[in-house]
A and B are shown apart, each in its own frame.
Chain A
Amino acid sequence: MTNSFFQHKQTAHCESGVISNLLGHYGLQISEPMAFGIGAGIFFGHLPFVKVNGVPGTTYRIWPGAIFQRVCKRLGVRMESEKFSTPEKGMAALDKVIEAGIPVGLQSSVYYLPYFPASYRFHFNAHNLVVYGKQDGQYLVSDPVMDTVTTIDPESLTQARFAKGFPAPKGKMYYPVHVPPTASFEKPIKAGIEQACHFMLKVPIPMFGVKGIRFLSKRVRNYAENPGDRKATLYLGNIIRMQEEIGTGGAGFRFLYAAFLQEAAVMLNKDELSKLAGELTKTGDLWRNFAFAAGRVCKSRSADNVSYKELSDMLLECAASEEVFFKKLAQVKL
C-alpha cells in the first residue's frame, strides 16, 4: 500500500516512533533515538508488588506518555490531547479531526489490533499508533512498529481505544496544534540527559534505576525458594519479554539510548558522548547475554541454585556497568 499523505517510518518503539512520525509530518525532523533521548526514556524498574497475571512487573523505560510530554515541552510543541467518556463520542471526535486532514495519535490496547500476529496480542494498553485517514469505512493506520502502513476496521479500533484495565486509554487521542518549524536541540538534549541520569542514579526508591537492577538481582538469587522453579521460569520469561519484545529494540532500550548519544555527540560537537555511546553498547550486550542465559533456564524449566546465582551475578554486572556509565554521563559538561 502506498501513502503519499503521511510519511510512515518504521521504528523500534511505539511512543518515540509516533513522536518522530507526527512531528516529521509538520516538518520538524526528529529521529526516534533523538525523541527517546530528549524525553529521557531510559530507565529501570522492578515492581514485585505490581503483578500482571501473577507475574511481577519489570520495565526498562519510563512510564508511558512521559517521553511524549517531555519532548513536547522541551521543543515547544503544543499538543491537543483528549479522553472520552463513551466510545461513540471518541470515535466521532476522531472522525472529525481526520476529516480535517490531521493525523491523530491514539493510545490503544495491543489485544484488539488485528494486524499484529496473534502471539503478540496481550492486554497491553499503552500502545501508540497514528490514524491518518479513512477509506471505504476502514481507518488508515501508521503503526510505528509495523513495516508499512495498514488498515483497521472501526469495531476493532473502538475496542482497542476503549479497552479496560490499567492504564485505561479511555479513547485518548492527541495531535499537535503548534509545531515550531525549526527547533534547537541543544538545550533539550542537555535537559534530557540530566533527567535520565537523575532517574537512573538518584531516585531514593530501591526498585528504581541502578538500585532497581541490584534489587532484581537479589530476588533472582532466591528464585529457587521464592517463588519456586515453576513460577520462576514465568518470572524470568516476563523479564526477557520486557527486555526484548516489540519496542525495546533488543537489550531493553540500551542500544536506542546509545544511538541517541551518538547523534547528540555530533549535534553538540562533544566527542565524549560518542565514547559513552560505545560503553553503553557494551552494557546492552551484557543485557543480551543475560536474556540468553535466562532463556535457557526458561527452556529447561528449572535451574539449580547455581544457575539462578549466575543470572543474579549477570544482573549485578549490568548494574555495575550502568552505574559507571551514568555517573560518567552526569559528569560530562554540556
Chain B
Amino acid sequence: MKKEEVPQDSDNLHEGTFKQIMYAVDNSGNYVQVQSAGWEPENIALDQAWEEVNERVKQARARVEAGEISPVAYYMEKNLMDLPLLASYVGKFQWQVKRHMKPGVFKGLSPKLLQRYADAFKVSLTDLLQIK
C-alpha cells in the first residue's frame, strides 16, 4: 500500500475524531506511519456487526413485551453479551442463567440475585424489572 493509498473513508462510526495508524510505503519505497480516517470494507463490517446487534436487541425487546422471555435475555443482547459471558459476570452456571430468562422463573428471583444482574448490566433495579 502506497502512502497516497491509505484509505480516508471516514463515517459516523468514527465520530470524526478517531484515526488509526497504518504503515504504508512512500515514494522511495520506505515504510512510514500514516493516519487513516477509516476504510470502507471495515466500515461495512462494523456497520453490519452493529445492525446485527440492534436487530437482536429489537427482537429480544419484542419478546419481553410479549411475555416470552425475561428482561435478562433483553439486557444480555443490549450489553453485547453471550450466555457464557453473562454467566461469568453474575457467577452462575449457564443453565441457571438460561432458566432466569424464563419470565416465570425471573419473577421469583431473590433481590440479591436481581441486584447482581442489574450490576452486570449497569442498570438500576427498576430498569431491570421494567425495561425502558
Give A residues with C-beta under 8 Å from B. Answer: 10-12, 33, 52-54, 111, 116-120, 122-123, 145-147, 164-165, 168, 233-234, 236-238, 240-241, 244-246, 249-251, 255-256, 258-259, 262, 277-278, 281, 284-285, 288, 291-292, 294-295, 298-299
A237–B44 touching, CB < 8 Å: yes
A255–B80 touching, CB < 8 Å: no
- Distance, CA A12 to CA B19, complexed state (A): 10
With A117-B15, A164-B89, A295-B44 given, is the CB distance from A256 to B23 under 8 Å?
yes
Contacts of A12 in B (CB 8 A): 20-23, 33
A-B contact pairs, 10 of them (CB 8 A): A12-B21, A54-B82, A123-B85, A147-B18, A237-B48, A238-B45, A255-B24, A259-B31, A291-B41, A295-B42
B42–A123 touching, CB < 8 Å: no
A111–B80 touching, CB < 8 Å: yes
A284–B1 touching, CB < 8 Å: yes
Closest residue of chain A to B89 (Cβ to Cβ) is A164
Return B47 CB to nearest CB of chain A, in Å. Answer: 8
B interface residue count range (under 10 / 10 to 19 / 20 to 34 / 35 or more):
35 or more
Return B49 CB to nearest CB of chain A, in Å. Answer: 6
- Distance, CA A246 to CA B22, complexed state (A): 10
**Which of A241, A258, A281 has a CB less than 8 Å from the CB of B49?**
A241
Return B14 CB to nearest CB of chain A, in Å. Answer: 6
A255–B1 touching, CB < 8 Å: yes
Question: Which residue of B20, B35, B80, B85 has the most chain A CB atoms within 10 A of its CB atom?
Answer: B20
B46 contacts partner chain A, Cβ-Cβ < 8 Å: yes
Return A27 CB to nearest CB of chain B, in Å. Answer: 22
B45–A295 touching, CB < 8 Å: yes
Contacts of A123 in B (CB 8 A): 80-81, 85
Contacts of B19 in A (CB 8 A): 147
With A165-B85, A244-B42, A284-B1 given, is the CB distance from A262 to B21 under 8 Å?
no
With A116-B18, A165-B88, A262-B31 given, is the CB distance from A241 to B1 under 8 Å?
no
Contacts of A146 in B (CB 8 A): 18
Question: Which residue of A33, A294, A295 has the most chain B CB atoms within 10 A of its CB atom?
Answer: A295
At the interface, is chain A mostly helix, strand, loop or mixed?
Answer: helix
- Distance, CA A147 to CA B33, complexed state (A): 12
At the interface, is chain B mostly helix, strand, loop or mixed?
Answer: mixed
Top 5 A-B residue pairs of the complex, sorted by shortest distance between their CB atoms: A295-B41, A259-B31, A119-B13, A244-B42, A237-B45
B22–A255 touching, CB < 8 Å: yes
B36 contacts partner chain A, Cβ-Cβ < 8 Å: yes
Contacts of A284 in B (CB 8 A): 1
B65 contacts partner chain A, Cβ-Cβ < 8 Å: no
A278–B29 touching, CB < 8 Å: yes
Return A290 CB to nearest CB of chain B, in Å. Answer: 9
Closest residue of chain B to A159 (Cβ to Cβ) is B122
- Distance, CA A11 to CA B21, complexed state (A): 6
Contacts of A241 in B (CB 8 A): 42, 45-46, 49
Contacts of A245 in B (CB 8 A): 42, 46
With A11-B21, A117-B18, A119-B13 given, is the CB distance from A33 to B44 under 8 Å?
no
- Distance, CA A63 to CA B52, complexed state (A): 27
Contacts of B33 in A (CB 8 A): 10-12
A250–B36 touching, CB < 8 Å: yes
Contacts of B41 in A (CB 8 A): 240, 244, 291-292, 294-295, 298
- Distance, CA A251 to CA B40, complexed state (A): 13
Could you list 9 further interchain pairs (A-B, Cβ under 8 angstroms) beyond the known A54-B82, A147-B17, A295-B44? A119-B46, A164-B89, A165-B85, A168-B88, A250-B6, A250-B22, A250-B39, A255-B1, A259-B23
- Distance, CA A236 to CA B48, complexed state (A): 10
**Which of A33, A164, A237, A295 has a CB less than 8 Å from the CB of B31?**
A33
Closest residue of chain A to B25 (Cβ to Cβ) is A281
B95 contacts partner chain A, Cβ-Cβ < 8 Å: no
Q: Which of B66-102 contact A (CB under 8 A)?
A: 80-82, 84-85, 88-89
Closest residue of chain A to B84 (Cβ to Cβ) is A165
With A250-B1, A250-B22 given, is the CB distance from A119 to B52 under 8 Å?
no
- Distance, CA A278 to CA B25, complexed state (A): 9
**Which of A52, A122, A240, A281 has a CB less than 8 Å from the CB of B42?**
A240
Contacts of A255 in B (CB 8 A): 1, 22-24, 31
